[in-house]
Structure 1
Amino acid sequence: MLAPDSALTLEQGWQTTEATGSLQNLKKFNNQDFNSLRTLCLSQGLLFEDATFPAHISSIGPNLLPQDKLWQIQWKRPTELHRNPYLIVDGASRFDIMQGEIGCCWMLAALGSLTQQKHFLENVLPKGQGFQDNYAGIFHFRFWQYGVWVDVVIDDQLPFLNGRYLSVYPRTSNEFWPSLLEKAYAKLRGSYQNLHGGYLSDALVDLTGGVQVQFSLKDPPPDLEEILKAADKSRSLMGCSTSGQLRRNKELRNGIVQGHAYTVTGAVKIRYKNGWKHIIRIWNPWGHGEWKGPWSDNSPQWDHVEPRFREALLRNKNDGEFWMSCENFKEQFSWLCICNSTPTFLDFGDQHCTTWSVDRHINLWSPVLATDRNKCSPGAVSTNPRYFFKVPDYDPKTYNVVISLMQKHAEHMQDAKNLTIGFLITMRNSEVLKKIFSLTRDVTKYFTLSPGTYAVVPATTDNQEFEFLLRIFMKNEDYNENSNYPPSPLLPMDVPRQNQDSSCKAVFLRYAKQGSAINASQLQQLLNEVILQDEMTSLGGRFSFDSCRGILSLKDLNSNGQLTLQQFRSLWQSLTKYMDIFRKEDRNHSGFLDVSGLKSAIQTAGLAASEQLLLLMALRYGDAARRIGFSDFVYCMLRLETMTYALQNLAEGRSQISMTTVEWLTLVMYT
């Protein structure tokens, strides 16, 4: 909430509550329109050649390689490399990526995490392009830059040196999305040279438009394990890095590479021997080279894990991915970086239903603060722009404010040096409470602030004009007494409150047939890709086509085999509710409910079932041991709920129900 004193702020800059810019209002990089250029090339029978990022050493950069090697670079199209090229083969995965000669692990680590979160990946990798239909040697990708999404067009000529990819190359020889996406990112940043070394945090933000927070693993927060689990459950992007810039890419005996960035691909609490163990899953962008210590692929620790957990979690391949304990994670790595649309990774423990709102400001001014990062010039606080926000209430055990300040480089100056930037947090009386500075593009910090009115003062220690993007994220407690079920952390509903309904709509439109309805096949794809994101929840198996037909029929009020948006909203609410109930009743984190857990879940949902009915449900929806996985649990509960309410409506207070044969058959055969 902005205080009245912020009127000056709105005159000097502009402010919005939109979190990540709009994909519907794309900015065309270099004013190049993909559809128009492709249509022109197709009409002329030509393959696109990008004059703004040509197949020339100028696109590589003058200092990446010695001059003699620069002139040896050859550019080849995928159609020259393989007789049957594809943009994507069997879905985009981190295991498609193999790092080449360029030191772009920071970008590939972020990209590996992006492939796990399809709702973010689809923003970056637009559909409707490939090598089969309307191929014209042109592709496009999207990145978030300083508050707006930018569409970057490229040709598909890739650089090779001595017959090998200069940069990232695909594990599958005829799959080219990693190489083409990286080329688009190189174009955005000015050259391939500008990908040789960088910040993981920058790439995570550029691929999502989200907010990133870095955590020092040498001085970690006391709740690091809870933050990791919350980040994993809320589908955040995560990466980590090792120290050792002077020994970059040196592999230690234990398999860890110094001066290198990795992707964090999972974090779980697993039953081990007679207790519990927090373990972290990590992926190396090299596509090989793994940790050799405890919890690695062949370590004896896995012998003390229940077979079903071991089978679900352990992938014993030399693919660069491995598990390690949280203790070893803190010992071997220096930094952890987490990114999401809003700071959902700070929501953990026994918290109320929360959402995050964001105020966004862009401004430009000549700074008054031009001293070192620990001292403030006397006039800085009163002269520099101030951005006010109000904290209404708080829980001292949780974080409730995140402030992110990003310095903006001029267009075509992506390789410009960063200034030392930061911000001060003050009370209304200008008393300085916090000072945060760093020589990075993005300075972000999380806080626990007590109720009151505060101001953020962006600043730089360099006496230089400074354009910036400031975002202030605030946690909002939702005390709706009528809601017994907070939004599940697995569903993409961790957005500002006013956008929660649009999030449901966004998921619907992503899978709906021509944007109007969803059939059973599309519902199956949606449920398996959006809902089953959690390791433990997915242990019970995927949603089958038959169960999705059954689920659809329970919400299909028009009896036409499809769900409208309104009907899908009802299903979405039920999914949220039953996911929370399932996670609560799955006390041993097995991914299944036994008969006792099912009984408790039914009671929690406010429904009723006799002992005989309970056993029949376990037989009908459970496995041989009468355990029910999440996908079958959802179908079971939706059917019980629907049948209960249908019979209650028919009864209308009567002890007996009268139905025609057609009504009875319709009820039991379709729903």
Structure 2
Amino acid sequence: MLAAGSALTLEQGWQKTGARGSLQNLKKFNNQDFNRLRDLCLSQGLLFEDATFPTHFSSIGPNLLPEDKLRQIQWKRPTELQRNPYLIIDGVSRFDIMQGEIGCCWMLAALGSLTLQKQFLEIVLPKDQGFQDNYAGIFHFRFWQYGDWVDVVIDDQLPFLNGRYLSVHPRTSNEFWPSLLEKAYAKLRGSYQNLHGGYLSDALVDLTGGVQVQFSLKDPPPDLEEILKAADKSKCLMGCSTSGQLRRNIELRNGIVQGHAYTVTGAVKIRYKNGWKLIIRIWNPWGHGEWKGPWSDDSPQWDHVEPKFREALLRNKNDGEFWMSCENFQEQFSWLYVCNSTPTFLDFGDQHCTWSMDRYINLWSPVLATGRNNYSPAGAVSTNPQYFFKVPDCDPKTYNVVISLMQKHAEDMQDPKNLKIGFFITMENSKVLKQNFSLTRDVTNYFILSPGTYAVVPATTEDQEFEFLLRIFMKNEDYNENTNFLPSPVLPMDVPRQDQDSSYKAVFLRYAKQGSAIDASQLQQLLNEVILQDEMTSLGGRFSFDSCRGILSLTDLNSDGRLTLQEFGGLWRSLTKYMNIFSKEDRNHSGFLDVFELKRAIQAAVPSAAVPLFSAGLAANEQLLLLMALRYGDADGRIGFSDFVCCMLRLETMTYAFQNLAEGRSQILMTAMEWLTLVMYT
């Protein structure tokens, strides 16, 4: 039996991380400071040359190529290759990437997914660099390593063999962000050779600092479709891989490559014939080579899809991206990998939930080992430190706990090998409930645990002293309408539970660009990038600049054309409510509400106590509903999410304005100026 006070004793001497290696306090890889080095080069009129990752075969790695080819490697700067090079042209896209000679599809599949999620991309790829201003041959990129965000500095000399890129090459000849980012990742991992084969799961974590879970497609969980839809909706990074370790890069007749990693770029349920079909969108890091079966670019299945959805979803180009059914997805691929800052891909079934995280770092030591190839739960529990967590008193509808254990090799190790690591989960009676072991960098699994107190016991099978990172994610179903944050997709990375209620502040400050308020243009960017969560919701239309000016005027209490943090907090709460109502009432997942669904949405959004019209009396006033559908809907009277937000904000604002002016009466008297002031600005 674990004593009630034992948790404190067992945790003494163990580090529970705080600001170490945070985005506000980046670790400098090799102690190189980007700004200082660039300023030094600019002051001396020199181009940076990185002595810690030199233009030498040691940076390539001794075993990637035969010795004669290693000696033929040439290093060239983009300014030597192109007259007018750019870091980024017209934004960052997965279609900018084409795999080179190195077998790094695992890393490029993760990178392709990163390009879809700006909340992570803006961290990895800093904007304070380029070839046009303050160019000095130096660039930097950020990666997450064992609990720390690390800033990696490189020079821009790229390896070529026989005139061809050795590493990833851009589809556009004068756009260099893919090649430079991959060079920084190669430096972080020691050499380009260390990118030749690897784990997609590792790359997903390194690019996000998140938690990843692997799902076997040969023995899939019963709720695989729900996991895919939840992952897509909550903006997770996703990838998948095919089997065939001995037959790598062999393309089958159906277009699928064996022993290869892909990016999952979407999961959408669409109306097909007389029913619904979940289809998966997948991208090949080669930049070409696609599935040739059902739902491929020219397949007849698309003839049975409504034209506007077909036009929105289908991109008929040989760019490596294709759709396939969920059934074919499970047949052709072996593993699905999903990653996010919190396990939002497990949120299906729970409409309102957040995730908290506890994090611990320490060294493996002999006392942590259970003995080579000998998993002894009783011995491990009796000798190893234990980490306690409490599952709240509510019946879990879906998975509510995720445990992630990661091993870190010593930095001076040559050719590091993974230990077989894992963990036990015990209850207060020391009974071992779960155990997971694997010969990978990290072991992560998800559980449905009943209310109670549990302990996690890290363990390894070998007596070696390595650092490890343990993270415990736990679902909290404590949502209410006054919560100051949207569901967890937009939470900042590694946010402790006590800081989650300030997440809307982080979003505000990101788009305010260090200012104290946001204007209509900044609000438009925020709404389109943060609020529109999935492709089907986006089908209803994006937030236009004009609609954002209208939203701003309805929530601008100071009438100065800008939103302060306090004003934005009120809008954030409204958006939270509207998002949940829209998702609930859009029962066919079309991305639109018809008139009848709009009626139910209004009844859910506007308190009947404040406005009796929108309760029992609504049925007698269908004219108002039709006017709303005419004003905010498309030609068929259907309302997308962005227009629904505009409609509901105006409806609620005007409703409460009337109530305040009427003071309980059914009529109000206003001067012409009062009326014009009310209707012309709001």
Does the C-alpha gap of structure 1 residues 640 and 413 become closer, same or farther in structure 2, counting only changes over 3 Å?
A: farther
| Cα distance in 1 for residues equivalent to 2:601 and 2:497 | 28
Deviations along 1:188-241, one digit per CA (max 9) or x if unpaired, are 100111000000111111111111111111111111111111111111111111
CA deviation after TM superposition for structure 1 residue 370, in Å: 4.2
Alpha carbons 1:190, 1:412 under 8 Å: kept: no
Answering whether residue 646 of structure 2 is matched by residue 635 of structure 1, we say yes
Alpha carbons 1:389, 1:453 under 8 Å: kept: yes
Q: Counterpart of 2:11? A: 10
Alpha carbons 1:405, 1:458 under 8 Å: kept: yes
Deviations along 1:525-563, one digit per CA (max 9) or x if unpaired, are 111122223111111111111111111111111111111
| Cα distance in 1 for residues equivalent to 2:267 and 2:635 | 30
The TM-score, its normalising length taken from structure 1, stands at 0.95
Does the C-alpha gap of structure 1 residues 605 and 411 become closer, same or farther in structure 2, counting only changes over 3 Å?
A: same
Answering whether residue 373 of structure 2 is matched by residue 362 of structure 1, we say no
Alpha carbons 1:117, 1:235 under 8 Å: kept: yes
Deviations along 1:386-426, one digit per CA (max 9) or x if unpaired, are 11222233535411111110001222548411111111122
**Other structure's SS at 1:363 match:** strand
Does the C-alpha gap of structure 1 residues 415 and 8 become closer, same or farther in structure 2, counting only changes over 3 Å?
A: farther
1:310-321 map, 5 Å: 310-321=310-321
Identity of aligned residues (%): 84
**Other structure's SS at 1:478 match:** coil
| Cα distance in 1 for residues equivalent to 2:62 and 2:200 | 24
Answering whether residue 76 of structure 2 is matched by residue 52 of structure 1, we say no
Q: Counterpart of 1:125? A: 125
Q: Counterpart of 1:258? A: 258
Deviations along 1:20-70, one digit per CA (max 9) or x if unpaired, are 962001111111111111111111111111111112111111111111111
User: More deviation in 376-385 or 281-290?
Assistant: 376-385
Q: Counterpart of 1:61? A: 61
| Cα distance in 2 for residues equivalent to 1:663 and 1:157 | 66
Deviations along 1:587-624, one digit per CA (max 9) or x if unpaired, are 22222222222222111112636322222222222222
| Cα distance in 2 for residues equivalent to 1:414 and 1:239 | 29
Does the C-alpha gap of structure 1 residues 56 and 502 become closer, same or farther in structure 2, counting only changes over 3 Å?
A: farther
CA deviation after TM superposition for structure 1 residue 463, in Å: 2.2
Answering whether residue 165 of structure 2 is matched by residue 149 of structure 1, we say no
What amino acid maps onto 2:664 in structure 1?
G
| Cα distance in 1 for residues equivalent to 2:428 and 2:667 | 68
Q: Counterpart of 1:595? A: 595
Q: Counterpart of 1:212? A: 212
What amino acid maps onto 1:285 in structure 2?
P
1:30-41 map, 5 Å: 30-41=30-41
| Cα distance in 1 for residues equivalent to 2:211 and 2:281 | 22
**Other structure's SS at 1:119 match:** helix
| Cα distance in 1 for residues equivalent to 2:459 and 2:466 | 8
Does the C-alpha gap of structure 1 residues 493 and 207 become closer, same or farther in structure 2, counting only changes over 3 Å?
A: closer
**Other structure's SS at 2:269 match:** strand
| Cα distance in 1 for residues equivalent to 2:571 and 2:238 | 30
CA deviation after TM superposition for structure 1 residue 515, in Å: 2.5
Q: 1:657 aligns with which of 647, 668, 671?
A: 668
**Other structure's SS at 2:569 match:** helix
Does the C-alpha gap of structure 1 residues 372 and 223 become closer, same or farther in structure 2, counting only changes over 3 Å?
A: farther
**Other structure's SS at 1:316 match:** coil
Task: Provide the alpha-carbon RMSD of the alignment.
Answer: 2.1
Deviations along 1:365-394, one digit per CA (max 9) or x if unpaired, are 423434355631763321122112222335
What amino acid maps onto 2:10 in structure 1?
T
Q: Counterpart of 2:611? A: none
Does the C-alpha gap of structure 1 residues 97 and 419 become closer, same or farther in structure 2, counting only changes over 3 Å?
A: same
Q: Counterpart of 1:341? A: 341
**Other structure's SS at 1:14 match:** coil
CA deviation after TM superposition for structure 1 residue 485, in Å: 11
What amino acid maps onto 2:381 in structure 1?
V
Q: Counterpart of 2:681? A: 670
1:1-400 map, 5 Å: 4-16=5-17, 22-349=22-349, 351-368=350-367, 369-373=369-373, 375-376=375-376, 379-395=379-395, 397-400=397-400
Does the C-alpha gap of structure 1 residues 554 and 21 become closer, same or farther in structure 2, counting only changes over 3 Å?
A: farther
Alpha carbons 1:124, 1:207 under 8 Å: kept: yes
Unmatched segments (≥5 aa) in structure 2: 608-613
Answering whether residue 649 of structure 2 is matched by residue 648 of structure 1, we say no
CA deviation after TM superposition for structure 1 residue 82, in Å: 1.3
Q: Counterpart of 1:449? A: 449
What amino acid maps onto 1:330 in structure 2?
Q
Does the C-alpha gap of structure 1 residues 396 and 354 become closer, same or farther in structure 2, counting only changes over 3 Å?
A: closer
What amino acid maps onto 2:644 in structure 1?
F
What amino acid maps onto 1:249 in structure 2?
N
Aligned positions, number:
667
Deviations along 1:93-123, one digit per CA (max 9) or x if unpaired, are 1111111110111111111111111001111
Unmatched segments (≥5 aa) in structure 1: none
| Cα distance in 2 for residues equivalent to 1:412 and 1:375 | 29
CA deviation after TM superposition for structure 1 residue 356, in Å: 1.1
| Cα distance in 2 for residues equivalent to 1:235 and 1:220 | 21
**Other structure's SS at 2:193 match:** helix
CA deviation after TM superposition for structure 1 residue 352, in Å: 5.0
**Other structure's SS at 1:668 match:** helix
Deviations along 1:314-345, one digit per CA (max 9) or x if unpaired, are 11111111111111111111111111111111
Alpha carbons 2:73, 2:160 under 8 Å: kept: yes
Alpha carbons 1:53, 1:154 under 8 Å: kept: yes
| Cα distance in 1 for residues equivalent to 2:239 and 2:73 | 32
